[in-house]
Amino acid sequence: MFERPYIVGNWKMHGTRAMLSEARAIDRGAERLMKVEVALAPPFTLIHATRKEAGLIGVGAQDCHPAEGGAHTGDISAAMLKDSGAGFVIVGHSERRADHGETDADVKAKAEAALAVGLNAIVCVGETEADRDAGKAEAVVARQLDGSLPQGESAAAKVTVAYEPVWAIGTGRTPTVEDIGAMHCAIRQRLNAIYGEDGAAIRILYGGSVKPENAAELLGADEVGGALVGGASLTAESFLGIVAAAHEALEA
């Protein structure tokens, strides 16, 4: 595992102000587990309040529009996210790729828009079950990386990659530790090819049905620098269980 693992909670379309108590509890818990970098991506409507309530952890968004502004009803620009207190944005989540038809080029444009205003970007990639069954998982992920990662000066320093096999998201199923390690090593090679020596420092998160019970095992796979967590990030109890597992793994 990386020196300081990064555990990010993606609240998806969950949460009203009543859930800020969970964010506060996560923030307080993270204070005891400082070897781990902890962050939450609540829905847009809670970013500002989460930033105010949780002073220690990172706070980010789940998407942004690639344009600086304009006639895009219902969309949010990267600059607006920054203004509301976000420090990063997740782009290319498989639910956005599927629900909104986002292409690799769209994801790259969003990531570059984020970096342009000083946000960090978590770029998600991952194969479908059909891709894996057809033996195409690594090729699909390599193509997504080539098409989705932002370019430009010091881009690598602001990017995190999240490997999330689509079939593992919210299903309770996970790849084996060996399969995760193999994919993360393949991603590392691709990052080195894309960014040169800067590729070595990019954290690669695993995402897909991470829970307190399996976190230590999954985080122990080769080249895993942390986790992107959906369902298990919705309560402080389960999310802090994952953070604690990462913390303990570093102490072991």
For 61, list phi and psi in degrees, rounded to 5: -120, 170
Residue carrying structure tokens 């002073």: 55
Q: What is the spatial distance between Cα 189 and Cα 145, in angstroms, rounded to a whole number? A: 11
CB nearer ligand PEP, residue 1 or residue 67: 1
Task: Give the residue, chosen from 92, 164, 183, 244, that forms a contact with ligand PEP under the rule CB under 6 A.
Answer: 164
User: Which one among 47, 49, 169, 224 touches ligand PEP, defined by CB under 6 A?
Assistant: 169
Instruction: State the nearest-atom distance from the C-beta of 93 to ligand PEP, in Å.
Output: 6
> Of 95, 112, 164, 223, which residue is the catalytic one?
164
Distance of closest approach, residue 71 Cβ to ligand PEP, in angstroms: 30
Cα distances (angstroms) measured from residue 246 to each of 59, 74, 152, 160, 200: 19, 37, 32, 18, 21
208 binds ligand PEP (CB under 6 A): yes
Residue 93: active-site member: yes
Active site residue 164: yes
Q: Binder to ligand PEP among 29, 165, 199, 207 (CB under 6 A)? A: 207
Q: Which two tokens stand for residue 148?
A: 């989705």
Confirm or reject binding of residue 15 to ligand PEP (CB under 6 A). no
3-class DSSP assignment, residue 76:
coil
117 alpha carbon, distance to own chain's centre: 19
68: phi then psi, degrees, rounded to nearest 5? -70, -30
Looking at residues 213 to 232 of the shown chain, list those that interact with ligand PEP (rule: CB under 6 A): 228-232
- Where in the sequence numbering do the catalytic residues fall? 93, 164
